[in-house]
Structure 1
Amino acid sequence: MIPGAFSYHRPESLADAIKLLSTLGEEARPLAGGHSLIPMMKLRLATPGHLIDLHGVAGLKGIRREGDKIVIGAMTTQHELLTSDEIRTALPILQEAAALIADPQVRYRGTLGGNVANGDPGNDMPALMLTLGAIYRLEGPNGAREVAASEFYQGAYFTALEPGEILTSITIPAAAAGHGHAYEKLKRKVGDYATAAAAVVLTMAGGKVASCAIGLTNLHETPLLATDAANVVIGTGLDAATLKQAAAAAEAIMSPAADARGPVEYRKHVGGVMVMRALQRAAGRAR
């Protein structure tokens, strides 16, 4: 449970951080909150020769509104999301999910950027980013580019980040007025990854679902956007039969690993249950 030897770097600018990552190559890893990387290093599942600590880089924190969008710096912590009035008003589902991440000690240190950038299928925020239509700003030796969260995740711990690139901010459209939201998460104990979790954001009109997005956590090697399940409920009043159809459509795209959290069929079943619960709770809020 002791990491291998590594060199520690604490750059003071984004340009310096990018230069270090580019120069040191595959031996270097950026360090944000460290709650995914450090445990992997202790288990020797990751053995970087260099850690690039991003805490000294100015400008990577903060939450601001730009028109109808919210821009969140990658080094913004889960605790800062929980205490932000802007997030509470414009993207309350982020606070609901952040409150379910691990424990207060982790939330004080863990960052939004770290949670979404490393491609860990068990992390909670990536599925929310899909559900909310987030855009990631990536900056590297060849300049800056923007990548939709829906195109970012390529496999477990594999993402669209190119060598030397750092995720610097996340831009999310503010939720529609009167929307409903819910993040339902089943876990074995406080601090554990989800056995299964589902995020729902929807709007209602005339007692029927007008728009809907559903994201799934830890039910595949990447976060999932359950488009077919969302389409099932649009135009309905979310009766029991529709909820079951939506759950079945969501389960059809799940392929969780069998692990200590349960066998595959159990995890798919509870994934469907999380979808139904999240739909019902989000609709109740929208009404």
Structure 2
Amino acid sequence: MQRIEEADNNKDGVLIVNKPSGMTSHDLVNITRKLYNLKKIGHTGTLDPDAKGVMILALGRATKFIRFFSDTDKTYIAEILFGQETDTYDSSGKIIKEQKPDFTRSSFRSCLTSFVGETLQRPPIYSALKKEGKRYYEYARMGTKIDIPKRPVKIFDIKILEETIPFSAIIQVKCSSGTYIRSLCHDIGSSLKTCACMGNLERIAVGNISIDQAYDISTLKKMNMDQRKKILLPVDRLLMSYHCAKSNSRGDHFIQNGNALLQWNSAMPFDSYQDGELLKIYNSENRFIGIGQFRQSENGIFPIRMV
């Protein structure tokens, strides 16, 4: 299994977990709390209970930076089952429509191509999105119909891994954050003038974090506490998309005491930074110490969230 970079030998850091199917994201967090004997654990994004794959957990002080984790691309392997539509858009839901699929391999491939790019997608009603403070799935369980607006998403790439046309197919999808693969499968069926729902789903990557860097729960349970600590990644692993600023020894004192960092080292010219841009801050010893905001008028970096 590939190791990226080890964090300090404590319980503050980032853990990459391979969530099994049949487990909620909340259950996964609770199990990890017990394994690390730690209350402060959060995640950067859920997976449906029936789905498996990469989940990023923040432990200890790393939870302070979850809100700065920028939306990032996801990669999934999904099974499309043709001939049935369900209320949840996946095979675990109630069948609400059946139609014998009748389309060619050529039309299927052409259909997939039409979904690549920017598009508007309607999320399934059985989702955790909110309307007037209530989750969509709560409306669904009450039998209340609501208007679900479409949202912009982007599909970067779709590859066919297996196909038994016109009955089923397995595809690999790279997409923007917020894309519902269940909706994609449903919409592919509609485009082919038939019904479809999603079968198995696995998330194999979140940004540049892939499934081969993730630990199974069974592996974590076999480890002792020292081993579990050593596999945690540095807190700034959550912040890969941010530019960096490195303080000097004089600046260390100011920024750690909540004052602006007015002198720092940078790999980029100062005029390359955008006014209001958030930056990762490292001290003079090259240790990550927090997130700051660049203000052009003062030509300084002001602390937003410190370790």
Scaled by the length of structure 1, the TM-score of the pair is 0.24
Structure number with higher strand proportion: 2
